[in-house]
Amino acid sequence: MGNDKIIISCALVGGGTTRQQTPYVPYTPQEIADQAVDAYKAGAAVVHLHMRDDNGVPTMDMDRFRYTVNSIRERCDVLINLTSANFGSSIEERIRPFSELRPELASLDAGTMNWGHSSIFENSPEFLETAARKMMEVDVKPEIEIFDAGMLDNTNYLMKKGLIKEPPYFQFVLGAAGGMPATVKALLYLVESIPTGANWSAFGIGKSSLEIMYAALALGGNIRVGLEDGIYMKKGVLAKSNAEMVERAVRIIKEFNKEAATPDEARAILGLRKK
């Protein structure tokens, strides 16, 4: 079922993983770029990038995005997926990195939710329409991040308005507190609810990561790994790098008699522009 070529996305740092949790998470632009290149060499076709400041706090600082993206592009042809998510940032700050740097992909978090039972992750209708419109304008494909089922309706609305080109590309985020649980039942519901012909990927946060990875592969989807989503290789054993997590994903894909897609193969699967 599904493609024989599986896209591995590697989410390198995110906005939540800290050095107190693991010393191996990259913070500086150089560390993030180096781990991105290593993840590519290990078999990732896509790297998903957030930025941190000198204290490890999430930032939308353009100089950091620009340095990291340029450093990666100088060394390999991995697909770059820039975040448009940052708590407390303006719409203009959130869309500026992908607008100016024009990666192949950018995340589009498809709705507002209570985050971690402690804050609000705001993705207003104004933000969604502004970001989707700008992505079309600069030829950046949205990776539509779905944390809960209602976000599918928001996506359908944007598609009906002509703000997302077909086929859409979904990333199912399971196990975030306040969102859908990281269960096979939840993943199956989402997979059966998206438009025919859509591409999709999935991951589970934390201890559920392997269960959702296996389920995604069995259902014909793509997968995401990385220190943004989990820090352990197994109970009590920290992953020493993002590349180590990619290497394990490659091994698992082979056990399914499939292969990790190259960046060019991922471009073809997702209908992306040629580099």
pLDDT digits (tens, 9 = 90+) for 156-205: 999 999 999 999 999 999 999 999 999 999 999 999 999 999 999 999 99
Task: Say yes or no to pLDDT of 72 above 90.
Answer: yes
pTM of the model: 0.96
Report d(CA 99, CA 140) in Å as an integer: 8
User: What separation in angstroms does the CA of 184 have from each of 6, 9, 24, 71?
Assistant: 19, 20, 30, 38
261 assigned to some structural domain: yes
- Average pLDDT, stretch 4-9? 97
Query: Do residues 150 and 189 lie in contact, with contact meaning Cβ atoms separated by under 8 Å?
Result: no
The confidence band for 87, taking pLDDT boundaries of 50, 70 and 90, is confident
The confidence band for 275, taking pLDDT boundaries of 50, 70 and 90, is low
Q: How many domains does the chain have?
A: 1
Task: Say yes or no to pLDDT of 217 above 70.
Answer: yes
pLDDT at 206: 87
Report d(CA 240, CA 140) in Å as an integer: 32
The confidence band for 121, taking pLDDT boundaries of 50, 70 and 90, is very high
147 assigned to some structural domain: yes
Read off the CATH number of the domain in which 39 is found.
3.20.20.70
275 assigned to some structural domain: no
pLDDT at 274: 67
17-22 contacts at long range (C-beta below 8 A, 24 or more positions apart): 17/227, 17/228, 17/231, 18/56, 19/56, 21/231, 22/227, 22/231, 22/238, 22/239
pLDDT at 1: 40
Query: Do residues 173 and 147 lie in contact, with contact meaning Cβ atoms separated by under 8 Å?
Result: yes
- Domain housing 262: 5-270
235 assigned to some structural domain: yes
Task: Say yes or no to pLDDT of 84 above 90.
Answer: yes
Q: What is the pLDDT of residues 14-45, one digit of tens each?
A: 999 999 999 999 999 999 999 999 999 999 99
82 assigned to some structural domain: yes
69-72 contacts at long range (C-beta below 8 A, 24 or more positions apart): 69/101, 69/103, 71/29, 71/30, 71/33, 72/33, 72/36, 72/37, 72/47
pLDDT at 273: 72
